Amino acid sequence: MNTSYTLAELLTVNLARSFKDREVGFTGLVTGGAAALYGTAIPLAAMSLAKEMHAPGLTILLAGWSHNPDLSALDQLPDSEFDSLLRDLPCEAHMMSYPGTWAIRRGDIDFGFSSAVQVDRVGNINSVCIGEYEHPKVRLVGPILQPEHMALFGREYVMLPHHHQRNFVDQVDFISGVGHPGGAAGRAELGLRGGGPEWVVTPKCILDFDRTKGAIRYKSVHNASDRKNPDMFFLDLDPSAVDITPPPTTEELDVLRRKVDPKKVLLR
């Protein structure tokens, strides 16, 4: 087992293993440092790695519209959704209008990635405001595509660039994307046919959900020492007996470094 790998490589490999052949994965264009790494770069690297390893028929939707972009043509991570850089990046299809290539309500998109300022104990996410909706302490950008990500996609990976207790709350201040309130039965009662958050990925751990109760829980921690880290105990979360996030294999690291990201554009 190779023990020399970065946190970003560990997350990339674990995400990649969870994608299946012929799936369609959707990633937005998140900007700025760690947010861009977790929201865009790691998802792109993971989908590319899956295509090389076991899922050659997977379709990558970059910024939602560039189908299977040629990432090897990039010298930098794009930071604009709709300007000339991304327009001129070679790809298999452009979505030029709405409605366009994908039929989002028919379930064309198997999985997506989102970020959030708050996640609560049933996996609801919030990107709208902190504090009371009508008089917020902090007004954020708005729901964007989160309602669709969390209701219409087959599953969702919520990517948090920091593992702060303040990002995990009892109840989010605004539900812009629905988690698993009341578990699978609760989602069905809300008229949601499937989907919802699969994992919440942070620099410390991967969380998933008890689908009967709908409760968030630790799935794995990246470092054994975090099983006893007092900062990891909040809400009802208890890391003391969870697995260690499975490390990359030598082959995965080799493909990732040599084929997927040889110029270190994605995982710097």
CB of 184 or CB of 192, closer to another protein? 192
Interface with another protein: number of residues (CB under 8 A): 51
Sorted by sequence, the CB contacts under 8 Å of residue 115 that are 6+ apart come out as 30, 35, 38, 39, 127, 158, 159, 160, 161
- In the list 191, 225, 230, 264, the residue contacting another protein (rule: CB under 8 A) is 191
CB of 188 or CB of 244, closer to another protein? 188
CB of 173 or CB of 198, closer to another protein? 173
The CB-of-190 to another protein minimum distance in angstroms stands at: 3
The CB-of-193 to another protein minimum distance in angstroms stands at: 8
Sorted by sequence, the CB contacts under 8 Å of residue 208 that are 6+ apart come out as 198, 199, 200, 216, 217, 219
Site residues (CB under 8 A) for another protein, limited to 47-106 = 64-65, 79-84, 87-88, 94-98, 100, 104-105
Residue 227 in contact with residue 20, Cβ under 8 Å? no
The CB-of-13 to another protein minimum distance in angstroms stands at: 28
What is the per-residue binding string for another protein in 206-245, x denoting contact by CB under 8 A? ----------------------------------------
Span interacting with another protein, options 126-134, 209-217, 233-241, 244-252, rule CB under 8 A: 126-134
Q: Hey, what's the torsion of the CAs at 54, 55, 56, 60, to 10 degrees?
A: -140
The CB-of-36 to another protein minimum distance in angstroms stands at: 9
Residue 168 has phi, psi (to 5 degrees) of -110, 110
Binding status of residue 1 toward another protein by CB under 8 A: no
CB of 78 or CB of 248, closer to another protein? 78
User: 95-117: buried (b, 16+ CB within 10 Å) or exposed (e) per residue?
Assistant: eeeeeebbebeeebbbbbbbbbb
The CB-of-257 to another protein minimum distance in angstroms stands at: 27
CB of 128 or CB of 221, closer to another protein? 128
Site residues (CB under 8 A) for another protein, limited to 130-189 = 133-148, 151-152, 174-178, 181, 187, 189
Candidates 211, 64, 212, 207; CA nearest to 148 is 64
Candidates 264, 136, 123, 132; CA nearest to 199 is 123
Sorted by sequence, the CB contacts under 8 Å of residue 195 that are 6+ apart come out as 150, 151, 152, 153, 154, 155, 156
Site residues (CB under 8 A) for another protein, limited to 10-49 = 31-32
Kindly give the pairing relationship between strand 111-114 and strand 155-159: parallel
Residues that bind another protein (CB under 8 A): 31-32, 64-65, 79-84, 87-88, 94-98, 100, 104-105, 124, 128, 133-148, 151-152, 174-178, 181, 187, 189-192
